[in-house]
Structure 1
Amino acid sequence: MMKKSGAYALIPEGNNIFENIIVENNSFKKKGYYTIKYYDSVFCQPRMYYNKNDSLFYDSPDFKEINGIRV
């Protein structure tokens, strides 16, 4: 069976600032990191803050702006 691939945010464990965008299969693991799959409808880029409560990425740690737009 072929494993599905997709875009993932690579985030260091114990942190919520993501470091990199990777394209991998859904079983990818990297020691010291966790991955969050995201879709084209979600804006994210490195150095954004991941909010696990709504699965979105924000410009600042207070989760009030996405891509410069107040939410």
Structure 2
Amino acid sequence: IMTCLYEGMSVQQIADELMISEKTVYAHKYMVMRKFNLRNDYELMLLLNKLTKNCAWPGGFINI
């Protein structure tokens, strides 16, 4: 889900792609933001950008 958000997909696109509900996408996003004490989507994108730069392989995220 975080990879899809980082790639610019909408919640609806993510839900369709992963065959889950939009509510599930929002729930995962909310839990990540809560875990890292993020206040908005901008801060989430900054975190995801930082994580991708630290990633050892292209296009890969570690599950958080």
TM-score by length of 2: 0.28
Which structure features the higher share of strand residues?
1
Q: Which structure: larger Rg?
A: 1
> Higher helix share goes to which structure?
2
